[in-house]
Chains A and B, each alone.
Chain A
Amino acid sequence: MRPISRKRTIRLAAALTVTGSLLALTGCGAADMTRQASPFAAVRDARTVTLSVQSWVGAQANVAVAKYLLEHELDYRVDTVQVDEVPAWDALSQGRVDAILEDWGHPEQEKRYVDDKGTIARGGDLGVTGHIGWFVPTYFAKQHPDVTDWKNLNKYASQLRTAESGGKGQLLDGSPSYITNDKALVKNLGLDLQVVFAGSEAAQITQIRQFAKQRKPFLTYWYKPQWLFEKVPMTEVKLPAYKEGCDADPAKVACAYPHTPLQKYLNAGFARTGGEAAAFLKNFRWTTEDQNEVALMIAEEKLSPEAAAEKWVKANEPTWRQWLPPKSR
């Protein structure tokens, strides 16, 4: 009997030691998940900013330029995280990222995080106005000028047909993360169209370029500002005019998309204590043309975002000087 009980004591002691040391290791206290840096953050005690990048190139352009200036003018280290829009709001609220530079309007998230919880602060206009709409290639619109009114779309449905649209005309939609009422629009406007979701912006762009190469007619959900317009000129199809609140009920919507001044959002804590970086990001404000210039360099000339940002920064010093906080101007 004896040896066994001794063994048991030893085992118990060992278990206690292990548990104890584990507890000691974790500090026994509360672990705040909102205060965790990335394991890959700078080794030195550097000043770090984390920016979220969304999947479209315009958003990459904003981040590339902001990152370049933060690193070269203000001496920060910048991390970027690519993440979809809604998860990005979540990450911003948790402090995993410090800023979103281009938001297309998420009323539900604004209410939850900005108004109710106060974990996210507004960062002002980006200076760029966004607009979602339906587009046809300009070569097609020139041949058939009346296609640019939604009332005539049914007439062209047969020309817009693809194998995927099952007898109807194809309305090409994009990534599931984008804001869209297209299914409801098609139904409520009585159009002979089938919404086909490309599933990702990369797939949508690739498909549009293939259509354009063959000069085939197509109809697509698309948005401005966007660099692809420089490569594939497209003309907007007029939908019933947008009126405040006409898109309030997702099932009944039968009007165009609004023009949205794109917004910046900062993590509330970062906005208060972020110092020069927060001040800079609040001041950051440029035009659609500026953004397109950088976006096109990234997407078309295949420059790395850093190289594209550097090129733009070298050429546009008066613009970005004003974004710097007064003492580093």
Chain B
Amino acid sequence: MTAAVTTPTPPSPTPPTSPSSSTPAPAAAPATVRPARLLRPLGVVALLLVLVAGALLAEGGWPAAFTVDLSEPLGAAGDWIIDNRDGHPLFLYFFGHVSNAVVLSVRAVYLVLLGAGWAGVTAAAGLVAWRVAGIRPAVTAVVALAVCGLLGMWVPTMQTLALMVVAVVASVALGGLLGLAAGLSDRTYRALRPVLDTMQVLPAFAYLLPVVLVFGIGVPAAVLATVVYAAPPMARLTALGLRGADKGVLEASASLGATAPQRLLTARLPLAREQLLLGVNQAIMMALSMAVIASVIGAAGLGDRVYQALASVDVGAALAAGLPIVLLAVVLDRTVSGAGARAARGGLLRGARGWVVALAVTLLVALTGRLAGRTLWPEAWHVDITAPVNRAVEWMTAHLYSGVPVVGGTADWAGRFTTWVLDPVRAGLQALPWWGVLLLVGVLALAVGTWRTALTAVLAMAAIGGLGVWDASLDTLSQVLAAVAVTLALGFAVAVAAARSARVERLLRPVLDVFQTLPQFVYLIPVVALFGVGRAPAVAAAVVYALPAVVRITTQGLRGVDPVALESARSLGATGLQQLRQVQLPLARPALLLAVNQGVVLVLAVVIIGGLVGGGALGYEVVYGLAQGDLATGLVAGAAIVCLGLVLDRVTQPTERRTAGKGA
């Protein structure tokens, strides 16, 4: 859901402004063409010929002899856990205590929240936001919490909040420690990076299953799954912050005789403050997005309400429970990023008196609420939005599904898209011989990266074949490619509009916010109602999910284009379109490449949701594994998704990022 925010904000793409490219001459393309570049088109043509010949002569697919069947060992592992869970010391003395600790801490936070009452919680949220981030985030916080109450979701919101608090504290602690280790030692950094990469691509659904097997359904499993999901960005950003510390400052403090721990506390950590806060922000967003996914394993709270509404095909109720999640995300995001801005100015936490006042006011409000006997949000203040939302959804699906004059209904589009785009791509990929696919992956990765990235990509692709899910993976891949193409086409168009007009961008911002944080489960029914069951709604869900990030990154890139270059183009009489094509787009190339990369990664993250609406392939298998308690099917499909993610990442990752220190 929020993986968009997931991707630690792009290292602001500042395009290199070389004099040759700032002139709006038709040759805005790189002026220096290396001779090797000329060989590339030839190579591509040759490769295509080889592939076509291969597809015609050889059989498509992965040879059965090269696969490893993991179902037996994985099945045996699952059985062992079930049989030993109630008696084995590992569970009694380790997992049991972990589980207990989680339950106790969540309960403690929950009781405090309930005890404070709605008045107390709202006051506290407003005052804290005011102290750390200013008056506007404070107003946002108060209004958002009031809306949660109005929607009749006060108690579920508090349950989710309690779960979030514990999960976020744990992820920040864990991620911080890992990041500290990686920031201080190069070896740890190198060892940790692939682990973090994998954790970020691994679909959350795939590891819900092992967590449930060990901890059983309920809050402990949900919290732990959330921590696994939310800790990596914290670790990455902490490492990034520590490694990026100004060498001069460090040397200065060393020359003053500071010991290593002193240097860490007085120089390195304070210098990394912004990255640390960004890490906390990311951890919060990831945890919130997990709130709904974790409801599948009994996490209670808002996610559970969304999930239960889904069972009775009730979009209105799902939205009523989904909106508080969006609101919590917006409040936490604005507050923490506001704190980041303040931290940069060095004003954070100044004035102990302010905190005392805030605490006193909160206590006063909470006590007043208690004395008035109003700890829960009064039912008379509920506003029911389910009926109008359901009517709107019904109208939409009744009128758009088919038979719209001239353009045809959404179902017709979906059918055509499936027949004319998805089917040929899938058939083409599956018809290729296995060595052809490996060759293609290798060449593409080599074209954008180094031989090392190419090797990673080829090995990951081979692993997919080895796991025995070759066909399903290529099916998934075809959906991902189609979804990425649609996302990029739409995203670039919207971004161009937003980059041209500040008003469009302002109007767009809340819309992007909502789509980035709204639980995907909410739009599961609408996409099926519009596009029917199948791969087309899966693609639609993926596009909705990935679009905001692509729009944001591209807009930022286009806006960041050197104004001087634009001005000179304008003075030479270039039209708007010419400016865009010949100046803005080439100059914003790094941002566009990053947008492509993010589009790919995010689309892949919703493959599972595609499985819930008829997308089949790997997504369905992961969902199947969880529903049937089938460790082998679920984990193998999850691993294949990770491999696909690695391949796609390596194939789309701009070379610039590789050479210029791989940041977050």
Contact = CB atoms under 8 A, between A and B. Distances in A.
B99 interface: yes
Contacts of B99: 31, 33, 36
Contacts of B110: 39-40
A244 interface: no
A86 B629 contact: yes
Contacts of B663: none
A50 to B, nearest CB: 9
Contacts of B401: 210, 213-214
B183 to A, nearest CB: 22
A203 B524 contact: yes
B571 interface: no
A163 B96 contact: no
* Listed residue (B213, B416, B628) with the most chain A CB atoms within 10 angstroms of its CB: B628
Interface in A36-95: 36-40, 43, 53, 55-57, 60, 81-88, 90-91, 94
Interface in A189-205: 196-205
Given A176-B620, A206-B529, A163 B627 contact: no
Interface string B265-305: 00000000000000000000000000000011110100010
A207 interface: yes
A22 to B, nearest CB: 9
B456 interface: no
Given A86-B627, A196-B533, A213-B398, A33 B91 contact: yes
Given A39-B107, A199-B620, A299-B312, A87 B212 contact: yes
Interface string B520-541: 0000110011001111110000
A206 B525 contact: yes
Nearest to B213: A90
Contact of B111 (A43, A200, A205): A43
Contact of B626 (A60, A87, A202): A87
Contacts of A299: 312-314
Contacts of B488: none
Interface in A99-126: 112, 119
Contacts of A60: 308, 311-312
B100 A57 contact: no
B310 A196 contact: no
B307 A82 contact: yes
Interface string B413-444: 01110110001000000000000000000000
Given A31-B99, A199-B623, A302-B387, A163 B418 contact: yes
Given A39-B103, A163-B414, A203 B220 contact: no
A91 B311 contact: no
B215 interface: yes
Given A33-B216, A39-B110, A163-B414, A202 B615 contact: no
B626 A84 contact: yes
A271 interface: no
B414 A199 contact: no
B533 A204 contact: yes
* Listed residue (A31, A96, A299) with the most chain B CB atoms within 10 angstroms of its CB: A31
Interface residues of B, number: 84
Contacts of B604: none
A39 B528 contact: no
A91 B219 CA distance: 12
B311 A201 contact: yes
A219 interface: no
Contacts of B308: 53, 60, 82
Contacts of B300: 38, 40, 81
A243 B486 CA distance: 50
Given A55-B311, A94-B216, A163-B534, A85 B97 contact: no
Contact of B297 (A40, A56, A87, A207): A87
A26 B311 contact: no
B611 A199 contact: yes
A245 interface: no
A34 interface: yes
A256 interface: no
Interface residues of A, number: 58
B614 A196 contact: yes
B411 A31 contact: no
B35 to A, nearest CB: 47
* Listed residue (B107, B390, B535) with the most chain A CB atoms within 10 angstroms of its CB: B107
B96 A31 contact: yes
Contact of B528 (A84, A94, A166, A206): A206
Nearest to B417: A163
Interface string A158-170: 0000111010000
B80 interface: no
B539 to A, nearest CB: 12
A175 interface: yes
Interface string B97-117: 101110110110011001000
Nearest to A88: B217
B525 A203 contact: yes
Contact of A302 (B101, B107, B390, B533): B390
Given A26-B100, A57-B311, A87-B629, A96 B623 contact: no
A83 B294 CA distance: 11
Nearest to B623: A176
Contacts of B107: 39-40
A38 B219 contact: yes
B628 A176 contact: yes
Interface string B533-552: 11111000000000000000
Contacts of B246: none
B59 interface: no
B100 A83 contact: no
A317 interface: no
A297 B546 CA distance: 37
Contacts of A298: 312
B397 interface: yes
B153 interface: no
A175 B624 CA distance: 8
Contacts of A36: 99-100, 103, 218, 220
B162 interface: yes
A55 B297 CA distance: 13
B95 interface: yes
* Listed residue (A43, A85, A302) with the most chain B CB atoms within 10 angstroms of its CB: A302
A207 B533 CA distance: 6
B253 interface: no
17 contacts: A36-B220, A38-B103, A39-B219, A55-B311, A60-B311, A83-B296, A86-B629, A162-B532, A164-B536, A196-B616, A198-B533, A199-B610, A203-B613, A206-B525, A210-B397, A302-B316, A302-B317
Interface of A: 26, 30-34, 36-40, 43, 53, 55-57, 60, 81-88, 90-91, 94, 96-97, 112, 119, 162-164, 166, 172, 175-177, 196-207, 210, 213-214, 298-299, 302
Given A81-B304, A94-B85, A164-B536, 11 more contacts: A84-B626, A87-B297, A91-B218, A91-B298, A164-B532, A176-B620, A197-B620, A200-B623, A203-B525, A214-B402, A302-B386
Interface of B: 82, 85-86, 89, 91-93, 95-97, 99-101, 103-104, 106-107, 110-111, 114, 159, 162, 212-213, 215-220, 295-298, 300, 304, 307-308, 310-314, 316-317, 386-387, 390, 397-398, 401-402, 411, 414-416, 418-419, 423, 524-525, 528-529, 532-537, 610-616, 619-620, 623-624, 626-629
Q: Which 8 A-B pairs have the closest CB atoms?
A: A31-B96, A177-B627, A164-B534, A39-B107, A176-B624, A30-B92, A163-B418, A163-B415
